[in-house]
Amino acid sequence: MDGVEIVRYRYAPSSLETLVNDGGIVANLRRSKWKLLLVPSFVLGQAWAAWRLLRTQRVDVIHAHWLLPQGLIAALLQSLPGRKVPFVVTAHGADLYALRGSLLNAVKRFVLRRSAAATVVSHAMRESLRSINAPVDKVSVQSMGVDLAQRFSPAPSGPRSERELLFVGRLVEKKGLRHLLDAMPAVLRVHPDARLAIAGFGPEETGLKAQMRRLDLEHAVRFLGAVPQELLPSLYRRAALFVAPFVRAASGDEEGLGLVLVEAIGCGCPVVVGDVPAMDEVFGPRLPEFAVDARDAQALAERIIQALSDPALAMRKIEALRADIVDRFDWDRVVDGYAGLLLRVRRLA
């Protein structure tokens, strides 16, 4: 990345620095309680590294991604000796939905009050902040972006598969993959040549593979593991249908936006999605055409069967949606929005 300097910090011996990988902090803490011991050094190490940068470099604005812990660190840095640097904080989903409770909500309100501005990636998230009495007057909705002009664009030529389903995402509860596996036997009864490719990894992988074997789906399901970004477009361009069976997890965590959907639509791939609030941000009034309660395996299977049985209709629906998606989520549009916000904060400092 030209012009971008990455500063890394240590918070534990290298063999123990496992708090953020393989599913994210929240999933790791729920799976391995001992990792709570890593949280203090993770936060303090990040705060120390940030404070040193502020002392040694000319920083005009901090952009903290996630309310917790990065937003809290940016807020607390304003109380330390040295120049007070304004900050913008962006919430992405898990920091709002999964980290709940009266104390954590109070911390979120504190971060937002101290911030110069804040963004969330969907209107549903802004309403969630309102529900905890956070100061939403300074919160704007600004999605993350996707390269829809070049990388995630339709294939210039070449046919799509007729029966390949595609899932892309972390293997965590809110992504809903277990519900898609539950739906596969019903799909196979109508389309016995249907196949599901799964790109991603995460803490639920072992359990999901066991579920696949229990449902006798080994012949129809492939786990691809982690797939590099540069290889994803070929998967989207080949698939007959991209399925994102999002659900609300037992913890309350749910999808903040779901950029994999934007990537798939950018490549002209038909989609079926789980009906969670953030999906309205992507599909707007057309959401009922694409969404289903993914926890209902039969309903999910029927929607998939419908799309596979009439691929021409599925393609017309996605082609009609793509132009709107490009207009709202392409990198150029998103960059302009964030650049304008950061420059306004800088001028007001």
The DSSP string of 275-304 is --TTHHHHHGGGHHHHEE-TT-HHHHHHHH
Dist. CA 64–CA 55, nearest whole Å: 18
Domain 14-145+332-348 identical in fold to domain 164-329: yes
pLDDT tens-digit series, residues 93-140: 888 888 888 999 999 999 999 999 999 999 999 999 999 999 999 999
β-strands 271-274, 291-292 pairing:
parallel
The pLDDT value recorded for residue 50 is 93
The DSSP string of 172-229 is SGGG-HHHHHHHHHHHHHH-TT-EEEEE---TTHHHHHHHHHHTT-TTTEEEEE---G
Q: Is 183 exposed, middle or buried (0-12, 13-18, 19+ CB in 10 A)?
A: buried
Class of domain 14-145+332-348: alpha beta
CA atoms within 13 A on the CB side of 224: 18
Q: Report the mean per-residue pLDDT for the chain.
A: 92
Tokens of 213: 């074997």
Give me the mean pLDDT over the 53-63 stretch. Answer: 92
- The predicted model scores a pTM of 0.88
Residue 66 near residue 75, CB atoms below 8 Å: no
pLDDT at 2 over 90: no
- The CATH number of 164-329 is 3.40.50.2000
Q: Where are the domains of the chain?
A: 14-145+332-348, 164-329
pLDDT at 21 over 90: no
